[in-house]
Amino acid sequence: MGQQVSEALDEHSPSPACWVLQVFPDLSQSDMVLLLLLFNPPLSITCKTQVNPIYPNHLQSASFILGAESDIVPGMKPLKETECRSCCPVANALDVLGDRWTLLVIRDLFMNKHEYHEFLSGPEGIATNILSDRLKRLTSTGIIDLMRHPKHKNKKLYYLTQAGKDLLPILVELILWGGVYRAVPDMAKARVEKVKRNPKKFMRETLEQLKAWEKKNL
């Protein structure tokens, strides 16, 4: 049995768990994890990388089966906000920005929306629990900041930090890409054409509007 599994794992499959299932299709989840760990070299794991540098996918397969916080898989601890799960900057950026709502909140901030109810009024119809979560996440990662509303003490105003403002070129590229490869509603065509004509001018005017708001409110 050991030789069969060992040979399967030595094939450098992107998913060792699949190889184990092919050899032993009736294995329980716990037995599969034990086999994956038994026939791997000793695991060398750090909290930040969360992977085995020799066979990274073996640990990922085991953690997928039992869940990332399983005590059976050594070293798999929940990541802190300041830690990275990957050596790839794209992956680490997507940990913060990679869902269907986060960039829309940032888009609205560039459009000079700063209050909670303004974000809710967007055409996409973001739910209140999702909005609260994204605002909290963006604040904790330093992309936005907040202040107490000068006229309503129970309300808050949200605004972009420099890290948030540096995302403007990414949004511009998404506008341009979406204008070519995705359907553009009539109400958005004028904005897309404006960006196409002069992207640098559009970014400059957008940042000037933010600066005017900050001068008045911060």
At 87-145, the pLDDT tens digits run 899 999 999 999 999 999 999 999 999 999 999 999 999 999 999 999 999 999 999 99
The candidate with the shortest Cα–Cα distance to 63, out of 15, 24, 21, is 15
- Rounded Cα distance between 148 and 155, Å, is 6
For residue 192, the model assigns a pLDDT of 94
CB atoms within 10 A of CB 49: 16
Residue 215: is its pLDDT beyond 90? yes
0.75 cut: is pTM over it?
no
Torsion angle of C-alpha atoms 187, 188, 194, 196, degrees rounded to 10? -140
For CATH 1.10.10.10, the residue range(s) in the chain are 95-217
Angstrom distance (rounded) from CA 78 to CA 144: 24
Query: How distant is the alpha carbon of residue 66 from its chain centre?
Result: 22
Residue carrying the six token digits 């695991």: 43
What is the pLDDT at residue 150?
A: 87
Contact 70, 79 (CB under 8 A): no
Q: Is residue 57's pLDDT more than 50?
A: no
Place of tokens 């055409």: 123
d(CA 66, CA 29): 7
Does 95-217 carry CATH code 1.10.10.10? yes
Q: What is the C-alpha to C-alpha distance for residues 35 and 16, in angstroms, rounded to an integer?
A: 10
* CA atoms of 165 and 42, how far apart (whole Å): 44
Task: Kindly report, residue by residue over 66-103, the tens digit of the pLDDT.
Answer: 333 333 333 334 556 566 778 899 999 999 999 999 99
Is 96 in contact with 89 (CB distance < 8 Å)? Answer: no
The rounded percent of the chain whose pLDDT value lies above 90 is 53
pLDDT band with cut points at 50, 70 and 90 for residue 154? confident
Alpha carbon distances (Å) from 174 to 102, 144, 169, 180: 14, 20, 9, 10
